[in-house]
Amino acid sequence: MIRVLLAEDEEMIRTALAALLEREPDIEVVATAADGTQAVALARAHRPDVAVVDLQMPGLDGLQVVGELGRVLPSCPVAILTGHGRPLLLRQALTSGARGFLAKGAPAATLAEVIRRLHEGRRYVDPLLAADALTAPPSPLTPREAEVLAAAGPDRPVRDIARMLFLSPGTVRNYLSAATHKLGATSRSDAYRVAQDNGWI
């Protein structure tokens, strides 16, 4: 029996996924969590064979949960479940140590198969997400420009960004101006949209 931890902040989705997995003869959902902090605590308590974790959750997000589980329960492979399959997120998930990456729109039977693969020591990446990641154009932004643009969002005040990133307001403006120019955008909010659409932030 493969013992599974399921972490998903939306109760309806969490309950539905748990019910679907419980129908599998070789899978048992031993714990469900509504946020990332609870997921790590329950993993410590129940020591599941596989964890399935939503990418975006309160407290610790999915990538942070992967990192924590890698430290406290390295024998437990993690599959990231996401509704946002952008190339950058896929790369970040795999870099963080996730063994699986699955879109929420995948057929229900796929999740059970992913859990079995991970339990056998294999990996799984959603084929469509992988294709998108392989064909995505490279980002024209430097890592620092991408970081500042991501922190800026469409309309966060420059002073708030500066405080967040420990930069001067002038330096923040320079990075945002450079990013906007490189992306051929008409405004900072347009630059943010272009970078998000292409999976660069």
pLDDT tens track for 101-131: 988 878 878 999 999 999 999 999 888 777 6
pLDDT in tens, 170-197: 999 999 999 999 999 999 999 999 998 8
Last residue of a domain, one of 135, 161, 181: 135
pTM: predicted TM-score of the whole model, two decimal places: 0.71
Q: Which residues constitute the domain of residue 63?
A: 2-135
Q: Is 97 left (phi over 0), alpha (psi -120 to 50) or beta?
A: left
Per mean pLDDT, which range of 6-10, 62-66, 137-141, 189-193 is the poorest?
Answer: 137-141
pLDDT grade for 30, boundaries at 50, 70 and 90: very high
Q: What is the distance between the alpha carbons of residues 163 and 152, in angstroms, rounded to a whole number?
A: 11
The predicted structure's pLDDT at residue 45: 97
Alpha-carbon gap, residue 9 to 104, rounded angstroms: 13
Do residues 158 and 186 both lie within one domain?
yes
Distance (Å) of CA 83 to CA 44, 80, 108, 152, 188:
27, 10, 14, 23, 25
The CATH number of the domain where 58 resides is what?
A: 3.40.50.2300
Last residue of a domain, one of 115, 135, 155: 135
Please report, as a single letter, which amino acid is at residue 30.
Answer: V
Residue 98 to residue 152: CA distance in whole angstroms: 27
Looking at the fold, whether 28 and 105 belong to one and the same domain comes out as: yes
Residue 50 confidence class, pLDDT cut points 50, 70, 90: very high
Spatial CA neighbour of 90 closest among 135, 147, 130, 60: 130
**From CA 149, how far away is CA 97, in angstroms rounded?**
25
- Mean of per-residue pLDDT scores for the chain: 91
The number of folded domains in the chain is: 2
pLDDT at 139: 86
- Average of per-residue pLDDT across 89-97: 80
- Mean pLDDT for 16-39 is 96
